[in-house]
A and B are shown apart, each in its own frame.
Chain A
Amino acid sequence: MHALAGVDLTIRAGEFVAVMGPSGSGKSTCMNLLGCLDVPSAGEYRFCGVPVAGLSRDALALLRRHYMGFVFQSFNLLPRITALDNVALPLVYAGEGRERRRRRAMAALTSVGLAERAMATSSQLSGGQQQRVAIARALVTEPPLLLADEPTGNLDTARAEEIMGLLAALRADRDITIVMVTHEPDIAAHADRVLYFVDGRLTCDGTPAEVLA
Chain B
Amino acid sequence: MSTPILSLQHVHKSFGPAHIIRDANLDVLPGERHAVIGPNGAGKSTLFHLCSGQFAPTEGKILLNGKNIAGLKPAEVNRRGLARSFQITNIFPGVTVFENLRLAVMRKHNLQFVFWRSAARLRLVNEEVDDLLTKIRLTERAQTLASQLSYSEQRSLEIGMTLASDPQVILLDEPMAGMSHEETDYTAGLIREITEGRTLLIVEHDMSVVFSLAHRISVLVYGEIIATGTPEEIRGNARVKEAYLGEEAA
A in complex with B: no
A interface residues (Cβ-Cβ under 8 A, vs B): none
Listed in ascending order, the chain B residues whose CB lies under 8 Å from chain A are none
